[in-house]
Structure 1
Amino acid sequence: MSGTRRTPARDTVAVRWARLSVRRLTWARCAYARFIDDLDELTRERFARGGKDGEAYVVVFGPTQVGKTTLILDLMGVSPLASARVSGVLRGGRDLGCSATATAMEYRRSGDTFWRLKSVTQDATFATDDEMTRALADVRESMSQGRLVCDEPIVVWIPDECFDPGGTTVRARMLDLPGADPMEAAERAHVADMAKLYVGNADLILLVGLADGLTFLHPKTLDLPGVRDWRSVPERFRVVTTRSFTPQTVRDMIDTRTDPLDAAFFRQALRREISTFDFQLSDDAQSPKRFFSLEIGDSWRLAAQQYPELHAKIDPIVRELKYELRADIANSATGYARMRSTARLHEVAREVKRIGQEEHEKRLTALRDARESLRADLRNLGAARVSARRVLGVRRKELALAPLRKSEIVAQLGQPERDVDFSMIEDVGQSRAKFRSAIGLFSAALSDRSLTIGPRKELRSTGFWGRLRPDELPGQDAVRRAIRAEFRSLEARLDPYRLDAYLPKLSGDFARDKATLRETAEGAVPVAGNAVADHWASVAAARVSALEEEVAHAAASRLAMLRTQMDAREDCKRASLTIHDEQAECDALCARMDEEGRKGEKFVRWLDENYAAELRARATDIALARTPVDMFTDLMSAAQLIEEKNKLLFDKKSKT
């Protein structure tokens, strides 16, 4: 920056004022030129400077198949008749319904009737649409297969004959990014890379989506560098919705509305819809002038035929909004707008960092809570696995000690504490009735005595015979049946007797039957014991079977717990990695914004230095003024200088 040169005395006041006024921003332009020169070469090449013709640098971003490319062509001034032709070529042979943009594409107007294509591998001219279509198809295939790695946009020049000679155009480099939701992994990575490289330096970013699909504005959807910051720097963004008026609900609203329709009404409606989202917008971000409800392309031309009354009402509004959008694009490309945007870099960086840290911290808190829940589950699984292992060990030990043979079972059975009482058959009376009564009494007594046979007391506390259930105890019916079966032969002998009483003096039947009774009673004792032993053998077999099932179930349960525990450990590891990645992303954002902030602060410092030098020069002019008029003129130029600085650094209204 050079010092102020004194105006020659022969200049008129008007000439003197004009010269001073022209220089009112020279100090700022010098600081901006210094700022650009201070950038590294790669960043300087990407930085929006407008080129020799002052064109704007605009990025268009949004979901697939919402009309981004059609919007670009419309804004550039491609004629409606040529729009289908140009769109077909740019699609590169891809079917309708698929993303037409293979990579980041920059569109320009050709100076002749030829197509031109410039990429990292070629700089070619094509005479026909088919040649250009094949060239773009090759680009898409190379991108999909990873054979073409682009770190800059592919530039396409559209034949001059495709533009409407009398149409309204916008002088801009229009960067069409692939859809925000590309299908192919290569495209997704490419979108992120291009966003990092180009979005931050654009003059204006158009966020384009369907009017009935506004989730494309949510921070979770716009998770790309620079794009996610739209709430923090709304002056650099415009929200454009397509198919804004043709949905049935909107047509019904238009038909029932009696007040005049204008752009402000639809802008306010769009703003209200966005305000229902679960994130906050500043007053500046909610300003209606940031929103554009549009209809473009073939769908709107078709609407003119299907809904002529609707088209007649809405088309003037659409034209008005397009005109305003073109004006915004043009105004964004002025040197003043770029200087002012750069002067706010540090403020924007702080705000983006603040919002980013808050959002990252919310996610980190949720992730940490989720990880702690996983860790608690892991601890519970560990305790449950220890318990399952203990149960499995106990059951296996019980099974190992289980008596499997009847002899082993009998050996574990305790014998009755009292001996068999034979007195009731020793003193049997000399009659058949007495014999039968003695058999019944002895059978009942033997049955009661036999039922006391069971696992010894010391075995019932723990181990295999522990926790006997009532249904496992032997029943009287089975034992009594076994005992009475022993006496059946004797009872069968008693049945044919004609007399109830025995006559010992006449026959030896009494002595013989009494001896048989004694012999049968003695034989019934082991039979009764064997019946009880059979019962306990059956119980033991059932217990062994149940134990085997328990062991198998406990083993399977323990294995399942082990697998679940391993999965839980992996979940914890993944949660920790996610937290690490989230923290790394937050740190990267903070580092990036700190760097942006330092750039902005450096520019503001250079602005202040140049401003102070210029103000001192004006003060010198005031002190050396030859006439009061010159002094007043110089004083007014100093006041103008102060006003320009305040506008540049503090006024929120952009100057065009």
Structure 2
Amino acid sequence: MKNYYSNYYASWEWTEPIVERYLENFTKFDATQANFKGQVYVGVYGPTQVGKTTFILNLIGINENKLNELSQALRGKQSKGKSSTVTATLYEKNPNDNFEIIFPTKEKQTCETCEELSVILKKFRTKVTTQNYEAMDEMIIRIPKSYFYSKNHEDNLIIVDLPGDDTKDESEEKHVENILNKYLVLCKTIVIMEIGTKINNLYQLPLDSMKGWVKDSSRFMIVLTRAASNRDVQEKLLSGKLESLEQMKNYYFNDLERAAIENQGVEEFNIPFFFFELGGSLEVIKNTNKDMYDKLRNFNKKILLN
């Protein structure tokens, strides 16, 4: 079986050819989308609670000791199990120590604490779900500079946090559908996220625009979260059978290729993919098995940083 992955994909260097390739061949959008010219939009797509926001916060360089607090605030008081992202959202570094929220209508609001941010986002969700909300631009959340340890991606690479397409809230279904229909076309690269134990779900995506992903390695990539959530992976990590980043990649590559052949009839799986253990699930491992935590955290660093 082909070993598709190299050290190249274990670093953030994969962003550079994406930027170069798509800036060279950038589609000219109509007048309503003219502000996107010169920037590459990467959409992060996946079901509710898969960890899209946490993944993005890691990529843009949020400090580990700020990650949980910020992730909770961005939920906007939504309980676990419910979608926290109701519209397309961008996260940026603010040069000062305030949060700044720029709504799709271009209205702005600032605050100083995560608690205040959470209240603001809750009010915004209420507006979307109780009114005929039609604004389709992104919401931009600028995060205080003190929350960052570094910046890992190119200035012209815009990472868009997209709402989950499996929302259980009927009041937001139409807005979410409109947002996904817009941004899944606009984004030149789509990161599809799924839990590592639910790989078969990748071949049952409900949107027509996503069903051909397995045959388009130039546009789609896969990110698997909760990489150490299943017992088999944990046992192999502890026994040393999954000792290196490359071995972990091959473990999941075999599952992805097997599912692709069974579900799509492809001859081989050649979509770039990455795996992470982030956020709450990594915190649980930290508190229960330090050796496994150290190993997974080291894997994350190798993937996220140059």
Q: Which bin holds the TM-score, normalised by the shorter protein?
A: 0.7 to 0.9
TM-superposed deviation, 1:61:
0.9
Q: Is the 8 A contact 2:165 2:177 kept in 1?
A: no
Q: Which of 102, 107, 112 is 2:96 aligned to? A: 112
| Alignment match, 1:131 | 116
The answer for the alignment partner of 2:169 in structure 1 is 184
Q: CA deviation at 1:142?
A: 1.2
Q: 1:214 to 1:126 in 2, by over 3 A?
A: same
The TM-score, its normalising length taken from structure 2, stands at: 0.81
How far off its partner does 1:228 sit?
Answer: 2.8
Contact 2:88 2:137 in 1 (8 A): yes
Residue 314 to residue 91, structure 1, CA distance change in 2 (3 Å): closer
Task: Identify the residue that residue 179 of structure 2 maps to in structure 1.
Answer: 194
Sort the Cα spacing of 1:177 and 1:256 in 2 relative to 1 into closer, same or farther, 3 A. Answer: same
Match of 1:295 among 254, 274, 277: 277
Offset from partner CA, 1:489-531 (integer Å, 9 cap, x none): xxxxxxxxxxxxxxxxxxxxxxxxxxxxxxxxxxxxxxxxxxx
Contact 2:89 2:160 in 1 (8 A): yes
| Match of residue 319 from structure 1 | 301
Q: Which residue of 2 aligns with 1:41?
A: 31
- Counterparts of 2:139 and 2:281 in 1: how far apart (Å)? 28
Give distance in 1, aligned partners of 2:282 and 2:124. 31
Q: What residue is the counterpart of 2:62 in the other structure?
A: 78
- Helix, strand or coil for the counterpart of 1:84? helix
Answering whether residue 166 of structure 2 is matched by residue 174 of structure 1, we say no
Larger relative CO (CA 8 A, sep 6+): 1 or 2? Answer: 2
Change (3 A) 1:248 1:282: same
Structure 1: distance between partners of 2:127 and 2:64: 31
Q: 1:161 to 1:249 in 2, by over 3 A?
A: same
Deviations 1:128-157 (A, max 9, x none): 434322221111111111332231221111
Distance 1:316 1:234 in 2: 27
Q: Supply the distance in 2 between the matched residues of 1:102 and 1:143 (Cα, whole angstroms).
A: 8
Contact 2:93 2:143 in 1 (8 A): yes
**Aligned partners of 1:42, 1:177: CA distance in 2, in Å?**
20
SS at match of 1:212: helix
> What pairs with 1:430-579 in structure 2 (closer than 5 Å)?
none
Pick the aligned partner of 1:229 from 212, 229, 237: 212
Partner of 1:459: none
Structure exhibiting the larger radius of gyration computed from Cα positions: 1
Aligned residue for 1:58? 42
Long gaps (5+) in structure 1: 1-27, 51-55, 325-656
Q: 1:182, CA displacement in angstroms?
A: 0.6
Can you give the 5+ residue segments of structure 2 that lack an aligned partner in the other structure? 1-20
Deviations 1:281-314 (A, max 9, x none): 464xx237x1112111232133133112223333
TM-score normalised to the size of structure 1?
Answer: 0.40
Output the CA distance in 2 between the equivalents of 1:146 and 1:216: 32
Q: Which amino acid aligns with 2:108?
A: D
Q: Deviations over 1:306-339 (max 9, x none)?
A: 1122233333223222237xxxxxxxxxxxxxxx
Residues 547-590 of structure 1, C-alpha deviation per residue, up to 9 Å, x if partnerless?
A: xxxxxxxxxxxxxxxxxxxxxxxxxxxxxxxxxxxxxxxxxxxx
Question: For the residues of structure 1 that align with 2:24 and 2:72, how far apart are their CA atoms?
Answer: 46
Q: How well do the aligned residues superpose, as a CA RMSD in angstroms?
A: 2.7
Q: Is the 8 A contact 1:69 1:176 kept in 2?
A: yes
Summarize the Cα distance change of 1:312–1:156 in structure 2 as closer, same or farther, 3 Å threshold: closer
Give the corresponding residue for 1:93: 77
Contact 1:239 1:292 (C-alpha < 8 Å) held by counterparts: yes
1:464-501 superposed Cα distances (whole Å, 9 cap, x missing partner): xxxxxxxxxxxxxxxxxxxxxxxxxxxxxxxxxxxxxx
User: What is the deviation of 1:216?
Assistant: 3.1
Query: Aligned partners of 2:173 and 2:22: how far apart in 1?
Result: 38
Q: Deviation of residue 200 (structure 1)? A: 2.5
Q: Partner of 1:234: helix, strand, or coil? A: coil
Residue matched to 1:574: none
State the one-letter code of the partner of 2:52. Answer: K
Contact map agreement 2:90 2:141 (CA 8 A) in 1: yes
How much has 1:181 moved relative to structure 2? 0.8
Task: Give the conservation status (yes or no) of the 8 Å contact 1:108–1:156.
Answer: yes
C-alpha displacement of 1:59: 0.9
Partner of 1:262: 244
Match of 1:280 in 2: 265
Letter in 2 for 1:292: F
* Structure 1 residues 186 and 281: alpha-carbon distance in aligned structure 2, compared to 1, 3 A threshold: farther
CA contact (8 A) 2:193 2:224 kept: yes
More strand by share: 2
- Contact 1:204 1:237 (8 Å CA) reproduced: yes
Partner SS, residue 217 of structure 1: helix
Cα-to-partner distance string for 1:77-98 (whole Å, 9 max, x where unaligned): 1111111221122111222332
Rate the CA distance shift 1:44–1:196 in 2: closer, same or farther, 3 A: farther
Change (3 A) 1:150 1:214: farther
